[in-house]
Structure 1
């Protein structure tokens, strides 16, 4: 592998359609000299793991779920789990971490390690010399419908006449949920008489575009091609 190739780690929880958009964009004009080094899921049955293993060439995968981790480490906390997630991510030596439908709020245990504000003895060889950016795809516009179920909440708000459009954003991950600086935000029109399934399908197509565009934008800033 060319040492100048830029490395992504993608975190998922579900079917992995946004992951697929990144897989398809690897080493194209959309994501030049870029490959996915690892896909990590917090759900064992996530189809995104299958997408990764069936990619050409296959993409390494990992699995770590919160509740099984806590049951097998009785003295551990949610923050300890986040530290373990960070260890897995850092060992893949990414230039960028992308949360693509990752349904778990990552706390200080993760963010402090990837930002290099803290280190661990067993991560000496994996810790980066500079902070690793982390971005998250969220199906709403900045400042609107933070947190879970954003699509359903925005659709309901439209039905009540409170909004005329929704959107998609990719933002930098900080400790406040969905409050990091937007990298890309794109409005999505809402149509009267359209059911939520049709709206969601249109919104997902926009997600597939912006997650690739945002990954390239951040990589070009932090790991520019020589």
Structure 2
């Protein structure tokens, strides 16, 4: 049984989708062992607790550096025996402490078609730029911001009457599907990183 840890900062809708897909049996052979938030009142912590998942708030401001903060997170991940770390609305840049320990085993989801519109407010960036198609990307985490090898992408058309909020809501629906699909592929051992590319092995 593979153990998953999820790092969060907010409401945790992607976390909920993954919990639901594990409980339904879509994702087999895995359990979420730990949820860690850098924000004390993040609703994602409540979601985890409702499903009997260990949920921990770690305040970055109580540490003297990002390195010591990440070392504490790493201790929690090791205690949970995490095989895979997911970032689900986690609003902090990953440093070398966590990356060195979990490269190739840490995945993020981004609400745009990378490499376009990296960083914060990606849906609004895409909408304001006037693109006709946006979407979401699941990728392995590397030392950059939203620059790691791409696992899966899903396109979402931009409609004539869209607002940035309505576009973001439709992208979120696809996020909930594609993130669980990527987790399933990882748990099945089907993802292989070859330089910048991720190959998906057949069953």
Deviates more, 1:164-173 or 1:192-201: 192-201
Unaligned runs of 5+ in 1: 71-75, 116-131
1:19 corresponding residue in structure 2: 15
1:146 equivalent among 97, 112, 118: 118
How many residue pairs end up in the alignment? 191
8 Å contact kept, 2:156–2:171: yes
Unaligned runs of 5+ in 2: 192-203
Q: TM-score, normalised by structure 1?
A: 0.80
2:29 equivalent among 9, 17, 33: 33
CA distance in 2, matches of 1:190, 1:89: 39
Q: Does 1:84 align with 2:80?
A: no
Look up the SS of the partner of 2:123 in the other structure: helix
Q: Which has the higher strand share?
A: 2
Q: TM-score, normalised by structure 2?
A: 0.89
CA distance in 2, matches of 1:114, 1:182: 16
8 Å contact kept, 1:166–1:187: yes
CA distance in 2, matches of 1:174, 1:33: 26
Matches within 5 A, 1:207-218: 207-218=175-186
Poorly superposed stretches of 4+, deviation over 4 Å = none
> RMSD between aligned alpha carbons?
1.6
